[in-house]
Chains A and B, each alone.
Chain A
Amino acid sequence: MKLILYFITIISMLIATYAALIYAPKETIMGDIQRIFYFHMGTVWVATIAFVIVFVASILYLINGKKKWDVLAYSSAEIGVLFITLTIITGSIWAKPVWGTWWTWDPQLTTTFILWILYIVYLIIRSSSGFDEKKAKYSAVFAIIAFIDLPLVYISARVMRGISPVVFGPGGGGIEPKMLNALLITLVSFTLLFILLLIERVKIENLKYKINKLIYMENN
């Protein structure tokens, strides 16, 4: 079963790469650099679903206290941090030639940056609290607050500054069909990638737990 998932993921990532780099038409204004945006959308997407999963798993953990929800939240957060970092990097690479600057404080980027910080604080809480249960509870509480906070960050930044420039479309409203296809394929393949990574990460976490437990039993 897992082998099939690996297979499908690799194939779809290859297809997505082809779609983004070759199949999709060149964007009129920005040129080839725009192609990185497909991957950028992919990483944003993964970072977002990872965040949602951290939120939902945290709530479930507080409600019924089962360890598996905490493992899911933590694993998802780790993957989320990775993809948010990739988002910021791909975004910057795109921004430099197009906007002339690596960074700007518009709503999208501000929210992304804060999300990155919130993820990192979550991981810091996890490494600092002592007993497993306390660590898990506190990070769950933080995750819930952070998730609710993020839309407020976006709205605040929106009310104060402008909007990111339109990135898709031949210059006018709407998205050209081929670009849409490339985008959708990228999103699907990144989702598969996320699921794969999450499954593996949860497995590693469970193994770590078992090993630590055995070591503990040995010493006592």
Chain B
Amino acid sequence: MAEQLNNSYIHIENLSKSFGFNKVLDGINLQFEKGDIVALFGPNGAGKTTLIRILSTIIKGDEGSISISGFDIKNEVQNIRNELGLLSHENFLYQNLTVSENLIFFAKLYKIKNHEESISKKLNSIGIYSKRNELVRNLSSGMKQRVSVVRTLIHDPNIVLLDEPFVGLDIEGCEYLLQILSDLKKENKTIIVTTHDLKLGLHECNKVIVISNGKIRLNESIENIDVSCFEGTYKSLIANRIIP
């Protein structure tokens, strides 16, 4: 039964999800420990985003069970939401509200006490404190991304999910994001990053997972992997028989 195996921090068992006839996830089994930094690779349509969305509780799987930090995703979902944060390429912000107003809004929804102080601190640490009274619509996209990161981390989640975070970023943006990942790693957070860019994903992670056509093709620690096959494109992964 699922309970006995459930020592892991994040435990996914036999997860399946279909959209119409398209079986996007097919019997996924995964386990992660606290502090794991996981790179989730896969071509477009492989199921990465769906998996992240199910983990972040915003959509539901069709079959299978998931437990996070001991909580079952079906019955104790509100507890899980306190533990996770999701960063996506959409910034989930309100255009016509200021940076402060947006962050206070989400802080209140997470029931954070003393949110004013906590927000000021966070804004300061990423250097946008001066912009706190600007409307989000007037910010540059780099700024919006930083605000989005603060929003993701506002409740100090133990698990951070990043869905294709490098898409559409310039070099400065990428560097900023890598810095964030590095900081989170130091705080012993559990991180799952999805990406289809093989080169960017590997920097800090300790586990690599490859998913394609809804199935897990590879699930290894980084020591056991020949990093060179990730240097290229998916052709090399296919050549190495990682993806059929």
Contact = CB atoms under 8 A, between A and B. Distances in A.
Interface of A: 65, 131-133, 212-213, 216-217
Contact of A65 (B19, B20, B22, B62): B62
A220 to B, nearest CB: 8
A213 B19 CA distance: 12
A136 B138 CA distance: 40
A133 B19 contact: yes
11 contacts: A65-B62, A131-B19, A131-B20, A132-B20, A133-B19, A133-B20, A212-B21, A213-B21, A216-B21, A216-B22, A217-B21
A132 B23 CA distance: 13
Interface in B7-34: 19-22
Main secondary structure of the interface of B (DSSP, over half): loop
Nearest to B17: A133
A213 B23 CA distance: 11
Contacts of B21: 212-213, 216-217
A131 B22 CA distance: 10
Interface residues of B, number: 5
Main secondary structure of the interface of A (DSSP, over half): helix
Contacts of A212: 21
Interface of B: 19-22, 62
A141 to B, nearest CB: 16
Contacts of A216: 21-22
Nearest to A215: B21
Nearest to B21: A216
A217 B19 CA distance: 14
Contacts of A131: 19-20
Contacts of B20: 131-133
3 closest cross-chain pairs (CB), A and B: A216-B21, A132-B20, A131-B19
A25 to B, nearest CB: 57
A65 B22 CA distance: 17
Given A65-B62, A216-B21, A217-B21, 7 more contacts: A131-B19, A131-B20, A132-B20, A133-B20, A212-B21, A213-B21, A216-B22
A217 B213 CA distance: 13
A211 to B, nearest CB: 11
A133 B18 CA distance: 9
A195 B20 CA distance: 28
A60 to B, nearest CB: 16
A133 B59 CA distance: 12
A86 to B, nearest CB: 33
B84 to A, nearest CB: 24
A217 B23 CA distance: 10
Nearest to B59: A133
A157 B166 CA distance: 60
Contacts of A132: 20
